[in-house]
């Protein structure tokens, strides 16, 4: 059985698309690559922080049956304090690296990519009137 290849243009024409799909400008393609790298870096940082926290998080205390309720409450309060103390450096690192550095860069790049538009032959329909882009 022979391998029959169908081109992308044939598929688009068969679907009723008149204009071919453009790949975007050089800046848009570069912006998408840059956004992918920033997103991947953010995901790697988040994954590293979560992994490190899993290994450094205190283990849940084992409360023996018959333990005095006041002592059990004190054990659980100490565990909560230890857990918050262990989590604090990770949340501050996440805040300083991801939220304050990577996220603004990522949203700026994506805002540029999707906010950029070509003005060639664009028109919008507004209230039944066709408006041409200038």
- Lowest-pLDDT range of 90-94, 109-113, 125-129: 125-129
Residue with tokens 């994506």: 110
Asked whether residue 79 is assigned to any structural domain, the reply reads yes
What are the tens digits of pLDDT across the range 22-61?
777 787 788 788 888 888 988 898 898 889 888 888 888 8
What are the tens digits of pLDDT across the range 87-110?
888 888 888 888 898 888 888 887
Q: In which band, very low, low, confident or very high, does the pLDDT at 20 lie, cut at 50, 70 and 90?
A: low
Region 101-121: mean pLDDT is 73
Asked whether residue 131 is assigned to any structural domain, the reply reads no
Asked whether residue 83 is assigned to any structural domain, the reply reads yes
Asked whether residue 54 is assigned to any structural domain, the reply reads yes
* Range(s) of the domain holding residue 95: 23-61+73-116
Return d(Cα 8, Cα 3) in angstroms, integer.
Answer: 16
Asked whether residue 106 is assigned to any structural domain, the reply reads yes
Report the pLDDT value the prediction gives residue 78, as an integer from 0 to 100. Answer: 92
Asked whether residue 111 is assigned to any structural domain, the reply reads yes
Asked whether residue 77 is assigned to any structural domain, the reply reads yes
Residue 131 has pLDDT above 70, yes or no: no
* Total domains present in the chain: 1
Q: Is the dihedral of CA 27, 107, 40, 38 positive or negative?
A: positive
């Amino acid at each position: 059985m022979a391998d029959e290849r169908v081109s992308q243009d044939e598929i688009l024409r068969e679907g009723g698309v008149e204009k071919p799909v453009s790949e975007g400008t050089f800046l848009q393609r570069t912006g998408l690559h840059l956004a992918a790298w920033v997103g991947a870096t953010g995901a790697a940082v988040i994954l590293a922080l979560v992994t490190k926290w899993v290994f450094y998080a205190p283990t849940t205390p084992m409360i023996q049956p018959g333990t005095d309720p006041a002592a059990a409450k004190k054990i659980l309060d100490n565990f909560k304090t230890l857990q918050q103390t262990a989590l604090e450096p990770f949340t501050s690192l996440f805040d300083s690296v991801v939220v304050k550095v990577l996220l603004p860069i990522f949203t700026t790049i994506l805002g540029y990519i999707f906010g950029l538009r070509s003005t060639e032959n664009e028109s919008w329909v507004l209230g039944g009137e066709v408006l041409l882009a200038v």
